[in-house]
Structure formats: structure tokens, C-alpha cells
Amino acid sequence: SQTIHQWPATLVQPVGSPLSLECTVEGTSNPNLYWYRQAAGRGLQLLFYSVGIGQISSEVPQNLSASRPQDRQFILSSKKLLLSDSGFYLCAWTHAGLAGYNNEQFFGPGTRLTVL
């Protein structure tokens, strides 16, 4: 069975510090991978998605970046955090290719980031 992991689970960082959040998927190959951010009491905003190693697409301009160094690893980074980067970060995956009628996304447990 497939599983998705995220770490750390919670993080408190000062403004201006770097960030690295990691997401890994097990039990599948060549997944599509996604990073979402959820501000308090809000819906999910897609930040990045990737359809393969080294292939990253950005949805919104920001001081965050993403990388996919391995097939099932997705990393969210920042060189200098802003207060507005606080939120709940969710990684998700879905089957690549023509997924048929149910292209369900499977979500990780999330990382709660607080920037002070």
C-alpha cells in the first residue's frame, strides 16, 4: 500500500531563517507531487507541482521554492522566511498518466509552520 510522509510535523522558525520541508511517498512510482499551503481558517492554495524528477511548476510567485531530487521525494524550501509564510503545509500525490475516472489526491499529515 502507498503511504506519504512529511516532516517535521511542526516547526517554529524566526523571520529570515531558511526552511526545508520534506515529503516522501512509498509504494508507488512516478507519482505527481503537490505542495499546498493552508492559512488559518482558509482553503488550500497550490504552491508547486511536479510530474517528474527535476520538473517543478510554480503556481504563485513567492519566496518559496521546490525541488524533486528523487522520484518519490519532494522538498519545499525557502532561503529567508517571511511572517506570511506561516501556515499548514500539505504534500499530496496522485497517480501519474491517464488516471482514469478517479484522480484522487492522497495527502500527507502536514507540517504546521509558525514564523515569528
Partner 1 sequence: AQKITQTQPGMFVQEKEAVTLDCTYDTSDPSYGLFWYKQPSSGEMIFLIYQGSYDQQNATEGRYSLNFQKARKSANLVISASQLGDSAMYFCAMNPHRGSTLGRLYFGRGTQLTVWP
Residue 36 to residue 83: CA distance in whole angstroms: 17
Question: Which CB sits closer to partner 1, 13 or 46?
Answer: 46
Binds partner 1 by CB under 8 A, chosen from 11, 13, 22, 51: 51
CB of 111 to partner 1, least distance (A): 9
The answer to whether residue 109 forms part of the interface with partner 1 (CB under 8 A) is yes
Number of residues that bind partner 1 (CB under 8 A): 28
Q: Strands, DSSP E only, in the chain?
A: 3-7, 10-13, 19-26, 32-38, 44-52, 55-58, 64-70, 73-78, 87-94, 106-107, 111-115
Q: In the window 82-101, what residues touch partner 1 (CB under 8 A)?
A: 88, 90, 92, 94-101
> 116: buried, middle or exposed (CB in 10 Å: 19+, 13-18, 0-12)?
exposed
Binds partner 1 by CB under 8 A, chosen from 106, 113, 114, 115: 106
Q: Which residue ranges make up the site for partner 1 (CB under 8 A)? A: 32, 34, 42-44, 46, 49, 51, 88, 90, 92, 94-107, 109-110, 112
